[in-house]
Amino acid sequence: MKKPLFYFVLLSSIYMNAQTTIVEEKFEKDNTPMRYHYLTKSDKIVIEKGGYVSMSINRRINNISSYDSNGKKEILADNFETAESTFSITENTFQLVDFTKFSGAKTYKYVVDGKETPSLNFSDQRNSNHRVFRPQFFNDKYELGFTDEKFKNSINFKKDQLLLDVTDIFTKNNKRISIEKPEINRLIGDGFIKADVDLGFVANIVDNEKFEIITKSISKDYKTTILYRTNYNMEGKKLNEKSFTVNLQDSFLIYSSNDGGFKGSVQGLPFTFPNNPNDPSYINIKRTATNSASIFMDDLSINNFCEDFKTGDVYIYGLFGIKAEELNDMNSPSGYYIFKFDKTGKKIWESINKIDDVKEFNHKFYLVGLFSKLSMYNDNLLFQTGTDNTFDYVHYGYLDKMTGKILNKNKISYKEDKIYTFKGDYRAFLLSFYQYEGYKNKVFDYDGLVAIDTNKKVADYLKNIDSKNKLFFNTIISDKGIWLMESDNEKYYKVTFFKA
């Protein structure tokens, strides 16, 4: 495939910016890298270090440090023991789960701008549905959760009263507040596809004073969806609401794994296998020994959104097809769309992009195995879609933020690393599963494949690494550049930053 002018401009700019080694260290006993986090707003990498308990897979973390893109290190926590840490949406607070050697942790605490809170008990969380809050259920002041009027977390969004569970993380004071739900009638009825079982909602903490509830209406013909963002304060008072309308004229909205809603695993397959094992759709489902399958639990995965924190602009993205199908039915994707809105909900542009790939992407299969993702790089947008559930490929496209026009696109085929695909091996620092031709003894994630294909500096760096042992790479494509994590998961790890 010929690359347009953008590709060569991109490569030329890359040559002008040297890569930066952020950190490079050897594994040491009780000082081994355990996990890492990428902090989107502050553009930093956080490394957790510690050791394992005997031959157990239990992690004992005792040091957490952050690094910026210049390599500046900050120790966030030291001389303690925790099983894991999680960062808030503000990135000023992280949760430490207290370490225990033989049984599940019973307590945890927070570190807020370097100050520790008193320990809290996990038993105090038992009735609160923190899962609804994504990506995290806490900020610098509070923990949030939802229950129904009976204090149960199995909420029927249509029928149940919604109670907000608020806990002050410094005083441990807790209160439950009845809140006004977003309007239900705009989500269900004759003109919409939703049934009670599929009516979902998610919530995001916006900052220390606000959170939002996300709901979506989907028209019965699968041509129009409206994303509603309803804002509340920490007292449960509704503040305002913004809506974002996506309408497709010549195609149909279809589902994909995009983190817009919830997925679950069910025992007993919710679909029927083709009678003929030679039917191409037969290979689209991976059965396990327990005969379980992954499914969409609600209709929220019809699309998702990405917000530009600098401008407030909102990008709604998803897949489309030539036929409308119900939740968890088989379908054939045709391409992807991105709609750009300003922070008030006014549409700025729409970008509808067909993908011609009859053998793989356009194939008919269960869409829960097909992902779609939107991120930002160098003041442009990066869209990705693909699957390792059926075929081993990823389609990507770079788009102009100002116009929505495609600047560069390609399809990457890879091989899944069968020997080293231990997705349940929590002792490994880096997990990656995809082999790319020309990169011997190296395995990557999806972002790594795209980085190799579009960034010659990254590609050359990787080609110049000569190793007889298997090396693992994780990649974060951020707006300011590319973070490349590398390790053999035994002796060393290294973080390199390539400026955009």
Nearest to 261 by CA among 129, 139, 90, 131: 131
Ramachandran angles phi, psi of 30, nearest 5°: 60, 15
Residue 243: partners with Cβ closer than 8 Å, 6 or more residues away: 226, 227, 228, 229, 345
- In the chain, domain spans: 1-30+414-500, 33-121, 248-413
Taking the model in full, what pTM does it have? 0.89
**What single letter denotes the amino acid at residue 112?**
V
pLDDT in tens, the chain (500 residues): 334 444 434 443 444 457 999 999 999 988 999 999 999 999 999 999 998 776 555 778 999 999 999 999 999 999 888 888 999 999 999 999 988 766 667 889 999 999 999 999 887 766 667 888 989 999 999 999 998 887 777 788 888 899 999 999 999 999 999 999 999 999 998 888 866 557 889 999 999 999 999 999 999 999 999 999 999 999 999 999 999 999 999 999 999 999 999 988 776 544 444 444 334 343 344 433 345 678 998 999 999 999 999 999 999 999 999 999 999 999 999 999 999 999 999 999 999 999 999 999 999 989 999 999 999 999 999 999 998 777 799 999 999 999 999 999 999 999 887 654 444 445 689 988 899 999 999 999 999 999 999 999 999 999 999 888 899 999 999 999 999 999 999 999 999 999 99
